[in-house]
Structure formats: C-alpha cells, structure tokens
Structure 1
Amino acid sequence: MSTNGEIEAAVRAELMGDPRLPHPDEVAIAVDAGLVTLRGTVGSFAQLRAAVADARRSVGVTDVWDELQVRLLNEDRRKDAEIRGAALQRLIWDSEIPGEFLDVKVKDGWLTLKGQLSHQWQSDEAFDRVASLHGVTGVTNEIKVDERRAA
C-alpha cells in the first residue's frame, strides 16, 4: 500500500510528463488514502481531462476528485456560436455518430449535448469529439440512449 506522499509523487510525475499540460505545476494535488483531489486552473477543457486521466492512472490512486477550473486566455477564447458550429460539424463528420440526431447548446464556452442515440458508446464518442475543441470550457452530456432503437 502506498503512502499519501508516494501517491502524490506518482501523480505529480504523471502530470509533469504529460506534454498536453504546459503548466503542470499549477495543479495542486491533495491525497487522502488513495483519493486524489486536483485543484487549480488549466488552460482548456482538454487539459482538465488530461490531468484527471493522468491522476487516475497513477499508482495507488483509488479515485480522483476534480476541482480544477478552466480559464481561457483571451487568445484562446471563441464566440459561442463559433464553438457550436465547430461542434456540430465535428459530430456530422463522424461516420460512427448519427449527428443529425444531436444538438449542441453553448454558453460561455460550456457545451451541452442533447439528442437521442441508440448506443452508449455513441454518446461517449460524441462527448469525446467535442471535448477537445478549441475554446471549450466544459461539456454536459444530456444525450438520451435508447438501446431499443438499435434493434
């Protein structure tokens, strides 16, 4: 069993080794018996997801509590309408996701996915596709999955 200090060091090493995180030292790490809490500010939603994934795969981590905030710098900001258009286009281009059954709402860079799909993996894929878009500060997935539609 790893000590809190060993777990914190393992998480810090994962963050420092991740090229997706340009400023890993801006992420604070607290450990309590395998539960890791991440706090601080990152430059994009993609960076937030990378930091959480890094922490989850670290030795000794049993769970991750994400308290990170996304704060876009002026040059990284995009208008909500521009983000919505890019998100819809990305969903339409993906041949595995029936994008015509989905809609995207955007408020201050935060996307909300809505619609109905036949499979959970399609919902997960839609989330992943839009989460990495430039200017996104977060994503809420409200896509309904109805496996009966697949039959």
Structure 2
Amino acid sequence: MKTDSELQKKVQAALNWIPSLQSSKIVIGVRSGVVTLTGIVDTFGEKIEAENAVKNVMGVKDVVVKMEVPTHVTSPESHSKLFKQIMSVLDNNWSIPRSSIEVKLENGKVTLTGVVPYLYQKFSAQAFLGYIKGVKSITNDIIVQSKLHDTVEQRDVEQALARNWSIRSKDIMVKVDGATVRLSGIVSSLYQKQEAGYIASKAPGITLVDNRLIVHFNYKKIA
C-alpha cells in the first residue's frame, strides 16, 4: 500500500503530464488515500480534467475538488461575448440537439436546462462548454426523455462494456429496470467506474445510470 507521501508524488506527476495543467497553480493534499485539490485553474474544463487525471492514479480512494476558476465577466460587453461563445459551441456540435437546450449565464456561472433524448448528450453539453475561458461553473439541469419505446436490453449494455479495453467487464454486473441501468461489482480505479457509467449512458432509451461500482485497488480479478 502506498503512503500518502508516495501517492502525492504520483498525483503530481499525473497532473504534470497534462499540458493544459502545467501552468496551473494546483495544490495537492493527501490524507489516507483521499486527495484534495485546491488552487486556481483557467477554465472549468481544466478543473474537471485535473479531477479525472487524479481519479486514474492507482491508490486514490476519493477526490475532493476545491479548485477555483476565475471569472472574466467584468462588464455587459464581456458577458455578451461569453454568451455568444457558449451558443456557438452548442450550435456547431452535431451530437447536441441545440434547439432542445436553454442556457442561462450569470457572473460566469452557466445553467443548462431543456430536454434531450439521450443521457450522454446531457454530459456532452457540459463537457464542451467547460473549456470556454470565462465559464466559472456549470449547473446541468437538462432532463433526459427518450423518444424510444423499446425495452433496453441488458445484453446490449454488457456487450458495450465488453468492447472497451480499459474495463474488465466480467467484474461488472448490469441490471436494467425500465429506463435505468444499475452497475454493481468491483473495479480497480475511479477512472474505470466513471468510464463504465459513461458507456452505459449511451444506451438508447436510458435516462439514468445508477453507478454502484466499488473501487478496490488490490482486487484480484477473475481469470
């Protein structure tokens, strides 16, 4: 088992490996395997990227994110410019049904509302806006309402997980209840838990992923 000091060095190395974070002022704290990130990053997307990078470090039990994103909205003109950038990103992305999403911007804080047919579209809308400089935070209140009436097949979700090289699908149990997918079992990193949830979110007709996967770093995988 890694000590907190050893884990801190590995987390620092993981953050240093990401070009967009090399100029960031991120302070790393580690206690009993729980990593706390404080400091300043330029964009909300970098904040998420830092969190994801740390989750992929073996030995990290949890990540507490307290990083700040400065706002660049200081006048009505800068507010208008930022809003136009946000709308342009949504308009130019084919995977997001732009007409179904409404955007509210206040002091750099974005709130997304509306209705989309796929769960992954809800996540994608937030991800694409995260790297716009000036976006301080994103509240994602988009609702997923599938237009499909076919029953989601458990086997389809299982096969989607099996196709991903980074996930040991045999260790994940899938249960489908209406429009909800429940994932349970054991994975060896927070990254794998997150990735499994994202893959399940792409299933047609799914409106909720109940991710109950447990992260166990010393888990002995089934052969």
Superposition TM-score, scaled by structure 2 size: 0.60
Structure 1 position 48 matched with structure 2 position 47 = yes
- Cα deviation, 1:25-68, whole Å, max 9, x if unaligned, reads x2111112221110111222122122212211112112111000
Structure with greater contact order relative to length (CA < 8 Å, sep ≥ 6) = 1
The count of aligned residue pairs is 146
Q: Which amino acid letter does the alignment assign opposite residue 21 of structure 1?
A: L
Question: Which consecutive residues of structure 1, in runs of 5 or more, have no partner in the other structure?
Answer: none
1:22 deviates by 3.5
Name the residue aligned to 1:145. Answer: 144
Query: Which structure would you say has the larger Rg?
Result: 2
Distance 2:140 2:110 in 1: 8
Alpha-carbon contact 1:39-1:66 (below 8 Å) kept: yes
What is the CA-CA distance between 1:98 and the residue it aligns to? 0.9
TM superposition shift of 1:73:
6.4
Distance 2:99 2:148 in 1: 16
Assess, with a 3 A threshold, how the Cα gap between structure 1 residues 106 and 70 changes in structure 2: closer, same or farther: same
Kindly state the Cα deviation for residue 84 of structure 1 after the two structures are TM-superposed. Answer: 1.9
Superposed CA RMSD? 1.8
Equivalent pair of 1:79/1:109 in contact (CA under 8 Å): no
Q: Hey, which of these two has a bigger chunk of helix by percent?
A: 1
What secondary structure is seen at the aligned counterpart in 2 of 1:14?
helix
Name 2:21's counterpart in structure 1.
Answer: 21
Question: How far apart, in 2, do the equivalents of 1:124 and 1:100 lie?
Answer: 16
Asked whether the 8 Å contact 1:103–1:114 carries over to 2, the reply is yes
Runs of 4+ in structure 1 deviating by more than 6 angstroms, as ranges, are none
Match of 1:68, SS state, is: coil
Query: Offset at 1:71?
Result: 1.8
Which deviates the most, 112-121 or 64-73? 64-73
Partner of 1:7: 7
Instruction: Give me the identity figure in percent.
Output: 27
